[in-house]
Amino acid sequence: MEHVDIDLPGLFRDDLPQEERERIERHLAVCPSCRGAWEDIALLGGPQRRRRPAVPDGYFAALPSKIMEKRLHPVRTNWVRPFFDILRPAIPLAAGALVIIFLVRSAVPPPVTTDRLAVGANEAVDYLGFDLAELSSDLAQVVEPLLSDRALASIGRDLQETGLEDLEPTTVSEVVADLDESETDELISKLSERVIL
Amino acid sequence: MTAISDQELVEQFRQGREPAFNEIVLRYQERIYWVVRRFLNDHDDADDVVQDVFIKAARNLRGFRGDSSLYTWLYRIAVNLSLNAIRRKRVADFFRLDDIGDIASHDDIGPDGRVEADEQRQLIESAAQQLPPKQRTVFVLRYYEDLSYEEIAEILHTSVGGLKANFFHAIRKVAEHVKRQHGTR
């Protein structure tokens, strides 16, 4: 069976020339395959093709002025909003996580900090009880970086490791003064090996 | 009295006469609305896109060369913005689980809250929403808007032969969906 070049959808659209319509109908009469396709397609013909969903009353009358208004006063696109919409479900989870972190952190005792040690960070002379000027150049290279806040926090941890975690507010000089020689050596040794900056 | 042509309206707008653009809106707003509405299947979404179509048109009208007719040009903008809106909506709906269900619900309820009785129309619309973008575009422009293949080819910058194939496949898929739905009731 030679299939004609047919525009089956055109049949229900009623926009085919009469000759073309007749040609297709003749073909459908003898071709079960095309007739089957047409029977499917014919479902879509009829009045529902013309039927339109509802539009609010007066919509088209008001549309030109809405467009004019939007043209004259464009609303800046809020590009943040879509991201917020996407992230919105995660907000309660994030809040919960923050609460848990806060609770866990408050349950853990605070580490020995620079505040607790009451170190005068700028007073290099008092630092570890030594005057930098009197230190050998090798040791000075180790001690100089320790003057930063980050380094002082590190010292706090070292003091903890040497069993001095229960210190009352004091200066490092005072702490070191209480150490015996081996403890001082140990402390300096720990500080020397630590990568702190 | 002879109606002023599209080209004359465009010229007037280019010369700064705002009423000319208003006339263009009045002339094409319904046709553009129904194209967009058939794509998006929701009045509020369609309203936003229709406004954007004309705003974009106004912005670019000074550069409109008139190679195609004005309505073809407007249709092209409408199709592009509708497809963009569909993509955006799919992404948004993917993340916004609580709002799923709004997509199909708007058209079910008329302005007076009455459930529309036209099941067949809704079946066809829901089937059309499942079509791939190209088939969906051809389906909307041909099935609902009665544009000729030549006009659609001009809008989409594609061949008539390809459009016929796309439309035929679209029609078959929609018909199968409708038959299947009828079979399950």
Residues of chain A found within 8 Å of residue B175, distances taken between Cβ atoms: 40-41, 43-44
**Among A31-40, A183-192, B24-33, B114-123, which range has the highest average pLDDT?**
B24-33
Domain endpoint, select from B116, B131, B150: B116
Please give the pLDDT value at position A122.
37
B12, pLDDT greater than 60? yes
Rounded to whole angstroms, the Cα distance separating B167 from B134 reads 9
DSSP state of B115: B
Closest-CA distance of chain B to residue A71, Å: 6
Cβ-contact B56, B32 below 8 angstroms: no
Cβ distance of B51 and A66 shorter than 8 Å: yes
Cβ distance of B25 and A64 shorter than 8 Å: yes
| Domain span including residue A168 | 114-193
How large is the average pLDDT for residues B115-131?
A: 77
Domain endpoint, select from B91, B116, B141: B116
In a domain, residue A71? The reply is: no
Confidence of residue A120 (pLDDT cuts 50, 70, 90): very low
How large is the average pLDDT for residues B152-158?
A: 90
In a domain, residue A106? The reply is: no
Total domains, chain A:
2
**Among A18-27, A45-54, B110-119, which range has the highest average pLDDT?**
A18-27
B76, pLDDT greater than 90? yes
Q: CA–CA distance from B32 to each of A31, B53, B154 (Å)?
A: 40, 8, 16
Q: Per the structure block, which two tokens stand in for B142? A: 């041909």
User: Same domain, yes or no, for B125 and B70?
Assistant: no
User: Same domain, yes or no, for B49 and B79?
Assistant: yes
How large is the average pLDDT for residues A23-48?
A: 80
User: Same domain, yes or no, for B103 and B153?
Assistant: no
User: Same domain, yes or no, for B154 and B167?
Assistant: yes
Cβ distance of A63 and B29 shorter than 8 Å: yes
Neighbour tally for B184: CB within 10 Å: 6
B43 in contact with A, Cβ within 8 Å: yes
- Name the residue type at position B146: D
Question: Which candidate, B43, B67, B90, places its Cα nearest to that of B157?
Answer: B67
Provide φ and ψ at B47, rounded to 5°: -60, -50
When mean pLDDT is compared across A65-74, A165-174, B95-104, B166-175, the lowest value belongs to B95-104
User: Same domain, yes or no, for B25 and B110?
Assistant: yes
Residues of chain A found within 8 Å of residue B179, distances taken between Cβ atoms: 40, 43
Cβ distance of B124 and A82 shorter than 8 Å: no
| Cβ contacts of A125-129, under 8 Å, gap ≥ 24 | A126/A171, A126/A172, A126/A173, A127/A172, A127/A173, A128/A172, A128/A173, A128/A176, A128/A187, A128/A188, A129/A172, A129/A173, A129/A176, A129/A177
CATH number for the domain harbouring residue B100: 1.10.1740.10
Q: Which residue has the higher pLDDT, A99 or B109?
A: A99
How large is the average pLDDT for residues B59-81?
A: 89
Question: Which candidate, B143, B29, A136, places its Cα nearest to that of B135?
Answer: B143
Cβ distance of B175 and A51 shorter than 8 Å: no
Q: Name the residue facing B92 among A41, A49, A82 (closest C-beta).
A: A82
| Domain span including residue B125 | 117-185
B114, pLDDT greater than 70? no
User: Same domain, yes or no, for B57 and B128?
Assistant: no
Rounded to whole angstroms, the Cα distance separating A66 from A89 reads 34
Among all residues of chain B, which has the CA nearest to that of A90?
A: B95
Cβ distance of B43 and A55 shorter than 8 Å: yes
User: Same domain, yes or no, for B109 and B124?
Assistant: no
User: Same domain, yes or no, for B85 and B152?
Assistant: no
Q: Name the residue facing B118 among A40, A51, A74 (closest C-beta).
A: A51
In a domain, residue A42? The reply is: yes
Domain endpoint, select from B116, B151, B172: B116
In a domain, residue A99? The reply is: no
Total domains, chain B:
2
Query: pLDDT by residue (tens digit) across B77-94?
Result: 999 999 999 888 877 766
CATH number for the domain harbouring residue B140: 1.10.10.10
How large is the average pLDDT for residues A102-124?
A: 55
Q: Name the residue facing B172 among A40, A53, A74 (closest C-beta).
A: A40
Confidence of residue B135 (pLDDT cuts 50, 70, 90): very high
User: Same domain, yes or no, for B104 and B167?
Assistant: no
Please enumerate in sequence order all residues whose Cβ is within 8 A of that of A158, keeping only pairs 6 or more positions apart, or say none: A187, A190, A191, A194
User: Same domain, yes or no, for B96 and B21?
Assistant: yes
Q: CA–CA distance from B84 to each of A131, A197, B88 (Å)?
A: 71, 51, 6
How many Å is the maximal CA-CA distance in chain A?
115
Mean pLDDT of the residues in chain B: 83
User: Same domain, yes or no, for B102 and B144?
Assistant: no
B37 in contact with A, Cβ within 8 Å: yes
In a domain, residue A130? The reply is: yes
